[in-house]
Amino acid sequence: MKLGIIGTGQMGALIAASFIRSGALPPSQLIVTNRTPEKAYRLKEQHPALQVSESAHEVVKQADIVFLCTRPLDLYPLLQTVRRDWRKNQLAISITSPITVPHRN
């Protein structure tokens, strides 16, 4: 299983570190990206086997589970950008609050 994290600010970095420290997931099974790449690479300095991607597209294409850890105003534009990359068997988990996502066709 590959886990992806889009947004490696405080919450995204905490989620990644928690999975790794707990032993629930080896760093090599984690792929991350961030709007500011330096933040993602700082996380890689702590966990060298972790993968850093330059784009949210690649995270969504490679991960089985994707954590969306963005600012509230950035979530909907992000979802619009990657909407064609999702597979039916993926799980998306948003920690962004307070956002509601109405059903759209």
pLDDT over 90 at 102, yes or no: no
pLDDT value for 96:
82
Task: Classify domain 3-94 by CATH architecture.
Answer: 3-Layer(aba) Sandwich (3.40)
pLDDT-derived band at 103, boundaries 50, 70, 90: very low
What pTM was estimated for this model as a whole? 0.90
The 3-state secondary structure of the chain reads: CCEEEECCCHHHHHHHHHHHHHCCCCHHHEEEECCCHHHHHHHHHHCCCCEECCCHHHHHHHCCEEEECCCHHHHHHHHHHHCCCCCCCCEEEECCCCCCCCCCC
pLDDT over 50 at 105, yes or no: no
pLDDT over 70 at 99, yes or no: no
pLDDT value for 56:
98
pLDDT value for 100:
62
